Structure 1
Amino acid sequence: MVGGLVAGRLALVTGAGSGLGRAACQVLSREGATVIAADKNYNAAVETIKTHTALASGANDQDHMAVELDVSDSTAVRNLLDTVMKQSKVPPTIIVNSAGITRDNWLLKLSEQDYDSVLNTNLKGTFLVMQTFAKAMTEAGLPGSIINISSIVGKYGNMGQTNYAGSKAGVVAMTQSAAKELGKYNIRVNAILPGFIDTPMANAVPEKILQGMLKMVPLGRLGHPSEIAEVIAFLGSNKSSFVTGAAIDVTGGF
């Protein structure tokens, strides 16, 4: 599209194959960005580009790129940067860290493997992507915006999610620290804490438990992924030029 909140910007979105990441690609492309959709599931990332992103922007889907990425693998993250630099000559200046997984269980039953896998993806993965691409922005002398997806669970906790809650609380603290370090380079870093959103992750919650959760949401419904994506687009744009180090609840009032 011509114009838009982030017109002419290059955006990297992790976890782009579904849920919030897919919605972020859709809204950012609608607002004029060229999108790199990264996901561990390459076919899902391709689907995001072909079926959602190109349609939203009205652009040819060749303007956007789908890539396979395991965010917990530092070599894979560096290789992605190299690929982007060869193709675009400049690093993305909007980074959306949306890749995340759950491996739920009671604290007394949670395996070390399930603890590690969640922390490696949700927290370490966010760190690796943020570090790698922020360094590229500083070396190119470009201002930028990093948006890290946390969760309201990281603020209040949730039964059966000690690993997930710990990872998402860590994302907020890491965001606030990074904002303090990167401000001198005019790179802003913010976190979004979604509440209960209609995504594949929420669909895995048993209906009885989900209904109990909704009773705690004043707006009385699940959020839509696009309602998070609109906040992502705002934080990626110059409309939020004095917002950094923030942790923004988008929860329907939960």
Structure 2
Amino acid sequence: MAQFSLLGKTAVVTGASGGIGFAIASRFAYEGANVVLAGRTHSKLEHSLERLREIEIKPEQATLKPQAHSTHCFDVREMQAWKGLVKAHPTVDVLVNCAGQTQGSLLLTMSEERIQDQLSSNLSSVIWGCKTVGRQMKSQQIRGCIINVSSLLAYRAVIGTSVYAATKAGQLGLTTALSQEFARHGIRVNAVVPGYIDTEMTQDIANKDQLLKRIPLGRFGTPIEVADAAAFLAKNEYANNCILNLDGGLSAV
């Protein structure tokens, strides 16, 4: 069977203003998709949209019809906001759940509001996205794909990441369950599990030199490498419950 082509397809990427999210959006644009950059900050989304429009489609995917990239400003934590997204974009072929918040504090020092916000941003939002977009894909009989961007901390957590790690582990459980539940509708559900990736979030990480020595490949990954994995999951029609580790071998040590 030929690979699923992203040419002319609509891909929604949350957390698309920068870092891994924008890298995935850029790769999908290169593959010919019409990308919807989704997030909470309008100005950042518009800046990312300008950059996205500068990306040339890969030669073999060239088409006379111009790509139609766009933005959608909304709060991923709100179920009603997700309903608004699918109303504004009635056909979604690929959903990438990449939005989320990091954590750098001990559980005993976290307020209830901070914990709830982390749960809503990193896990509830992914559930709402899978539910609303999955229902839309089913109703339109779209052979779609959902990709959840988890984290190595889902099963190799460190001090100060307790709630974050729990949400990312929850994403993997959700992926496995939905890969079975949604398969009957022709919808594939997969996950990318990045380790330490060279983004703004890792610029000031503590003990970076020691961490690099623990990673078998001796370096952090790049957003482009994560985007390559997301493109593979979107295009390979036998990838379902495929959970790809991108950690330079750190999970093996």
After TM superposition, the score normalised by the length of structure 1 is: 0.90
Partners of 1:41 and 1:77 lie apart in 2 by: 16
* Alpha-carbon shift at residue 33 of structure 1 (Å): 0.5
Match in the other structure for 1:83: 88
Match in the other structure for 1:65: 70
* Equivalent residues of 2:103, 2:160 under 8 A apart: no
Aligned with 1:218 (options 216, 219, 224): 216
Alignment RMSD, CA only? 1.9
Match in the other structure for 1:7: 7
Q: How does 1:142-161 map to 2 (within 5 A)?
A: 142-161=142-161
* Alpha-carbon shift at residue 204 of structure 1 (Å): 4.1
Question: Which SS does the other structure have where 2:219 is aligned?
Answer: coil
* Alpha-carbon shift at residue 246 of structure 1 (Å): 2.1
How many residue pairs end up in the alignment?
A: 242
* Paired-residue identity, %: 31
Match in the other structure for 2:245: 249
More helix by share: 1
Q: How does 1:1-254 map to 2 (within 5 A)?
A: 5-51=5-51, 53-57=52-56, 63-85=68-90, 91-206=91-206, 209-237=207-235, 240-254=236-250
Partners of 1:185 and 1:40 lie apart in 2 by: 30
Any gaps of 5 or more consecutive residues in structure 1?
86-90
222 and 5 in structure 1: CA distance in 2 versus 1, 3 angstrom threshold: farther
Partners of 1:215 and 1:241 lie apart in 2 by: 37
Any gaps of 5 or more consecutive residues in structure 2?
58-62
Partners of 1:214 and 1:244 lie apart in 2 by: 32
* Alpha-carbon shift at residue 75 of structure 1 (Å): 1.1
Q: Deviations over 1:155-200 (max 9, x none)?
A: 1111100010000000000010011100001100001100000112
* Equivalent residues of 1:13, 1:35 under 8 A apart: yes
* Equivalent residues of 1:18, 1:200 under 8 A apart: no
Comparing 19-28 with 98-107, greater Cα deviation is found at 98-107
